Structure 1
């Protein structure tokens, strides 16, 4: 089966449509960081809260000041909203494609760590790169989840669509494939987010189960420029042709 590693997004939808259930790798492994986050959010300390959320005005923090353990819950793949998720257009996909994403996408959250697309999470705010109290999320989750992720990914093909920052959470120890996008010969950044969302959408629509099947997938406006093999990593370089 193909497993896709994906980034979270700073933006999130509010609301709820799910009941509590066990997260990937269990909630207990996350308890220390979740408790620390919750204590800061409920502390009333405006400076600490602004620092955690990455906001300059306390008024901007209000939508996220909730008890994490008594908040409305939503599947991660639906909770996040940002460029990649805008282009994924989850809501417009068929039930089969949505189920595929919930089961086969691993998202690396700045608060929850590695979670499946179907794992339900609260509406939270941790600015990328920020610590939660004295805890660095990347180090915290790399220590606690690397072995479990190694086991989970055994026997599966892996397509790593994460932004480079999230390599800090987990370094793959098996062969994997990444993508790079060029426009007019130059690497793109903003549009890379968009095309990661587009690629994930097309994979879900087609129900792609292996990297071999992925290589046969035709994606509009993308042409393979070259494929670079380096140790465990295979990088597919695409030209964006519009």
Structure 2
């Protein structure tokens, strides 16, 4: 099973790993594109105003540009420890057992605007780049990633559970993936999409799928694992699931 997570804008600082080395990454066939994007992003960081504009940041966020300037020299950390925020708080890697952490590294992957896809043990630096950006000389990230990333994801033999947000799902389609959305239901039974619930409950689902002793192999297995974890999950279509949150 492969669970595709969205990344986060916020990332932990520092790290104890050596500087970025793409040769140690999973899916080495993506390294050419990773190199081009990393070089373009670090070069862009030499022009702070241009970086702020391209990245959609304010002047108060100039330290994010500095992270990009140091992309090739700063320390790294395992990808699943680098990303932070609501979803990753709910995933709560630190509380996993040693066996469960190994399962997280093999079952979970993060969609990345800079690296395409990274697994738990891929060592990455802190950086700032969103899926909807367009880098000078390269164009939109969708146009950069789609031709090279889609074949990699399409080649996955196992069940794929897609928890990515829209901007990152646009970087590459995954044929046959199980898509998941989160809806909030009020006391009248009316349902709507809510961003905070979306992130938190996708994190809870990813945690449940990570901790399962038996690796889920079907949509039915995903439903069983989710329900055992106390999540209300409904099947909306053959490969479309909905997590329902009350309140």
Question: Normalized against structure 1, the TM-score is what?
Answer: 0.86
Residue 37 of structure 1, CA deviation: 0.7
> Cα–Cα, structure 1 residues 222 and 241, in superposed 2: closer, same or farther, change >3 Å?
farther
Match of 1:140 among 140, 144, 155: 144
5+ residue gaps, structure 1, are none
Deviation of the 1:70 alpha carbon: 1.5
| Structure 1 position 195 matched with structure 2 position 194 | no
| Residues 109 and 80 of structure 1: CA distance in aligned 2, closer, same or farther (over 3 Å) | same
Deviation, structure 1 residue 170: 1.1
SS at 2:12 equivalent: coil
Structure 1 runs, 4 residues or longer, greater than 4 Å off: none
Map 1:1-242 to 2 at 5 A. 2-19=1-18, 20=21, 22-26=24-28, 27-41=31-45, 43=46, 45-57=47-59, 60-61=62-63, 64-135=67-138, 136-151=140-155, 153-154=156-157, 156-173=158-175, 175-182=176-183, 183-184=185-186, 185-187=190-192, 188-210=194-216, 211=218, 212-217=220-225, 218-224=227-233, 226-229=234-237, 234-241=239-246
- Structure 2 unaligned regions, length at least 5: none
Superposed CA RMSD in Å reads 2.1
Paired residues, number: 232
Per-residue deviation, 1:176: 2.2
Q: 1:236 to 1:127 in 2, by over 3 A?
A: closer
Deviations 1:141-196 (A, max 9, x none): 11112112222x12x011111112222111112x2212222322313322011001
Q: Do the aligned residues in 2 keep the contact of 1:13 with 1:81 (CA within 8 Å)?
A: yes
Change (3 A) 1:18 1:96: farther
